[in-house]
């Protein structure tokens, strides 16, 4: 089985596939709506283009320099103590998958529902209660979650070229086209323009450190940083590819899809009067209402939910791949065994997350049910801390090896590299620590 991506576009699309997912299309729209719209977006762009880009390049370089997953990379360029730090990102990927596959399961359920023509509707109360009925039904929630996990496992079993790359190459371009078509329809609904303005007009009046922490968490989450995904994919990148340019593409595409995700979901929510009150159900409630106002809405509904599913899947495969790589590199498993064991563990975590809206809604940890708790500790604590550890390690313990990866052919890029080292080694750890401490 081949262990590199076959081409640079294949690598870029797969890494963008990891980054672009529920973060852009599900999380970003409702978080931006809850945290003041344009201001949230602007800070998100700022963080993505500075810390995000620098960290993504170095994570990828770490993978390519060592040809290993994050634990192996920390061990071979650092030492045993550093290697212990790398357990944190692997654990993060594992926990994220616990709640990610629940939302992936909702997408799968909506694909099935749209195929039966049961998703589209104009009546908002009905759409909301349909969504609530799905998430509050314990059997359904667990079954769809397990279905999504099984799909993820099937792709990862296929390996890099025949699994992850093949899927991303075909489906990511389709995602862009479909989003554009749906946006045009959504923003022309009466009342939708107010949503566009809300999303794009920066209003910093309610902005706090808590908001900054939320943006930071989302930036890490949506760019797949701080948990070894980009290290793992970097390990499969051919030596001759220009690494910072590839990372630039991935960040730019992710920003673009967040913008598109916002424009897709938020304006119709305004048109429908859900406005700024909606939470995690936003995508699943406002989209079916747009379809109701479109000719051929039933078909668009199928397409949309298939693509949401695909976006989720191209991300969840990278989460599983991080854990699979850990099993292969650290525990000596074969790919198949690693996939089976990691998926079984993720299923065990996914069950309480799936039941958070029904049987286990009263079981809380620091006031949050399992689903919210997993989301909160990973995005707001584990990803940023994993990011600091990776940044410090890269800039101060193995920069020499990484710089060799970040150069391209005979260009020395000394200024670019100095800038990146300052961002990764000084700005990122300081800024992330301050935001973490103030926002907590």
Binding site for ligand PHE (CB under 6 A): 18-19, 21-24, 96, 221-222, 224, 227, 229, 315, 318-319
For residues 285 and 288, what is the distance between their CA atoms, to the nearest angstrom?
6
Nearer to ligand PHE, 109 or 218 (CB): 218
CB of 230 to ligand PHE, least distance (A): 8
Contact 37, 194 (CB under 8 A): no
Nearer to ligand PHE, 22 or 215 (CB): 22
Nearer to ligand PHE, 222 or 286 (CB): 222
Nearer to ligand PHE, 243 or 311 (CB): 311
Terminal Cα-to-Cα distance of the chain (whole angstroms): 45
For residues 319 and 378, what is the distance between their CA atoms, to the nearest angstrom?
13
| DSSP-assigned letters across all residues of 383-427 | HHHHHHHHHHHHHHHSHHHHHHHHSBTTB--HHHHHHHHHIIIII
Pick left, alpha or beta for residue 374 (phi over 0 → left; psi -120 to 50 → alpha; otherwise beta). alpha
CB of 168 to ligand PHE, least distance (A): 13
Please tell me what DSSP assigns to residue 100: H
Nearer to ligand PHE, 27 or 421 (CB): 27
Nearer to ligand PHE, 21 or 327 (CB): 21
CB of 72 to ligand PHE, least distance (A): 18
CB nearest ligand PHE: which residue?
23
Those residues whose C-beta lies under 8 Å from the C-beta of residue 126, and which sit 6 or more positions away, are: none
CB of 55 to ligand PHE, least distance (A): 12
For 128, 342, 346, 394, the CA distances from 143, given in Å and listed in that order, are 21, 18, 14, 41
For residues 230 and 246, what is the distance between their CA atoms, to the nearest angstrom?
11
223 backbone dihedrals φ, ψ, rounded to 5°? -95, 5
CB of 299 to ligand PHE, least distance (A): 25
CB of 21 to ligand PHE, least distance (A): 3
Nearer to ligand PHE, 45 or 299 (CB): 45
β-sheet bridge partners, residue 411 = 408
CB of 19 to ligand PHE, least distance (A): 5
Number of neighbours of residue 440 by Cβ within 10 angstroms: 10
């Amino acid at each position: 089985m081949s262990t590199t991506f076959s081409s640079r576009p294949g690598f870029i699309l797969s890494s963008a596939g990891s980054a672009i997912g529920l973060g852009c299309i599900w999380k970003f729209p409702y978080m931006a709506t809850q945290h003041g719209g344009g201001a949230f977006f602007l800070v998100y762009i700022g963080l993505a283009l500075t810390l995000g880009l620098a960290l993504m390049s170095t994570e990828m370089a770490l993978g390519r320099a060592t040809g290993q997953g994050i634990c192996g990379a920390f061990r071979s360029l650092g030492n045993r103590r550093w290697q212990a730090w790398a357990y944190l990102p692997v654990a993060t990927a594992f926990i994220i998958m616990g709640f990610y596959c629940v939302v992936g399961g909702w997408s799968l359920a909506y694909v099935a529902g749209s195929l039966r023509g049961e998703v589209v509707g104009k009546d908002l109360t009905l759409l909301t209660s349909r969504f609530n009925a799905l998430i509050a039904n314990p059997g359904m929630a667990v079954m769809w979650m397990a279905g999504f996990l099984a799909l993820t496992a099937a792709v990862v079993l296929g390996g890099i070229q025949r699994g992850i790359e093949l899927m991303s190459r075909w489906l990511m371009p389709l995602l862009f086209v479909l989003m554009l078509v749906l946006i045009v329809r959504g923003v022309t609904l009466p009342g939708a323009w107010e949503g566009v303005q809300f999303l794009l007009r920066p209003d910093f009046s309610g902005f706090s450190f808590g908001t900054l922490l939320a943006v930071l968490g989302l930036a890490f989450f949506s760019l797949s940083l701080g948990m070894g995904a980009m290290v793992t994919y970097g390990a499969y990148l051919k030596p001759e590819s220009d690494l910072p340019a590839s990372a630039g593409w991935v960040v730019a595409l992710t920003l673009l899809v967040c913008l598109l995700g916002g424009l897709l979901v938020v304006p119709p929510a305004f048109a429908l009067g859900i406005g700024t009150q909606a939470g995690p159900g936003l995508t699943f409630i406002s989209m079916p209402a747009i379809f109701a106002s479109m000719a051929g809405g039933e078909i668009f509904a199928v397409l949309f939910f298939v693509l949401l599913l695909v976006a989720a899947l191209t991300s969840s495969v990278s989460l599983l791949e991080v854990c699979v790589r850990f099993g292969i590199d650290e525990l000596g498993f074969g790919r198949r065994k690693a996939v089976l064991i990691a998926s079984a563990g993720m299923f065990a975590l996914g069950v309480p997350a799936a039941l958070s809206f029904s049987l286990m809604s009263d079981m809380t940890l620091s006031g949050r049910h399992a689903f919210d708790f997993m989301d909160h500790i990973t995005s707001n604590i584990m990803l940023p801390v994993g990011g600091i550890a990776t940044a410090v390690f890269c800039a101060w313990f193995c920069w020499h090896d990484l710089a060799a990866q970040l150069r391209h052919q005979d260009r020395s890029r000394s200024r670019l590299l100095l800038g990146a080292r300052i961002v990764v080694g000084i700005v990122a750890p300081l800024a992330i620590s301050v935001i973490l401490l103030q926002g907590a």
